[in-house]
Amino acid sequence: MNDTKTITLESPIQRGEQTISTVTVRKPNTGALRGVSLTNLLQLEVAAIATVLPRITDPVLTPQDINNLDPADLVQLGGEVAGFLLPKAAKEAFQSA
């Protein structure tokens, strides 16, 4: 089971002199999901994604980083988070459809 996924950003994040072009997202544990509705995460609600991403990304994305993300990158990162929440059987059914 793969507990991490590395995403190449469409629009790299500029943080001072550092350019972040890839972000590794790890499967969240229950603690990383505290205070967030799982339904909102599965529906890719921006506020829910923005709450969880700083807890599960490497390098750690700051709220400012997340607010400045290209929408395509936000959807890609959020999709990975949502994918981690699905049971194995649901993933297999989706992939075979």
Give the tokens for residue 96: 């075979």
Cross-strand pairs, 24: 6, 58
Q: Specify the pLDDT at position 94.
A: 62
Residues above pLDDT 70, as percent of the chain? 91
pTM of the predicted model over 0.85: yes
Return the domain boundaries, the chain: 4-96
Give CA 47 to chain center in angstroms. Answer: 12
Q: Specify the pLDDT at position 92.
A: 65
DSSP 32-71: GGTTS-HHHHHTT-HHHHHHHHHHHEESPPPHHHHHTS-H
Average pLDDT over residues 26-45: 95
